[in-house]
Amino acid sequence: MNKEDKIEKIKLLARNFGLNNDEHLIEAFDVTKIYNRATNSKGAYANSALATLGDAVIKLHIVNTAFKCNLDSGGISRIRSECEKNDKLAWVCKIKDYPQLLYCEKKQSTDSIYDDPASLLEAIVGAIFIDKGFSETSKILDAEIPI
């Protein structure tokens, strides 16, 4: 699938999530390596900031959901540690077939191939959060992305 087709599918996904702006979701799938002037090398992926945000949102969602179930702090910690494991997030991402929509803005060598579906899911959640806020993102997580 070419980049333009992938972006059209991402826009459809944005509509399915009820997003008002698809720009951040498109960015979530961008795995172009960003040049880091400080180290004179290719550094993070273009979607890294969204993945960092999404990671925090997922953790808050898990803790908030566990808290609403009246669990004690030990129960909340056990649920959080189980639900936020990278292999679980990667599994969710793969069953949704999101990795097929990854793209690069620039031609890059094969050493920049992205193989981190957990971070992709986090970037997607970060993009949804920017558009919808925490409450609506939690509803989408409950309905669409079973963590």
Position 114 scores a pLDDT of: 65
Q: Read off the pLDDT of residues 71-113 as tens digits, 9 standing for 90 and up.
A: 899 988 888 888 888 888 888 888 899 999 988 876 654 344 5
What's the pLDDT at 24? 96
More confident residue, 144 or 70: 70
Confidence of residue 41 (pLDDT cuts 50, 70, 90): low
The arrangement of secondary structure in 3-144, i.e. its CATH architecture, is Orthogonal Bundle (1.10)
Q: Is the pLDDT of residue 143 over 70?
A: yes
pLDDT in tens, 51-60: 999 999 999 9
CB burial of residue 126 (10 Å; 0-12, 13-18, 19+)? buried
The tokens describing 31, both together, are 């795995």
* DSSP track, the chain: --HHHHHHHHHHHHHHTT-S--HHHHHHTB-PEEEETTTTEEEEETTHHHHHHHHHHHHHHHHHHHHHTT--HHHHHHHHHHHT-HHHHHHHHHHTTGGGG-B-SS---GGG----HHHHHHHHHHHHHHHHHHHHHHHHHHHHS--
Q: Residue 82's pLDDT is what?
A: 85
Q: Where are the domains of the chain?
A: 3-144
pTM: 0.86
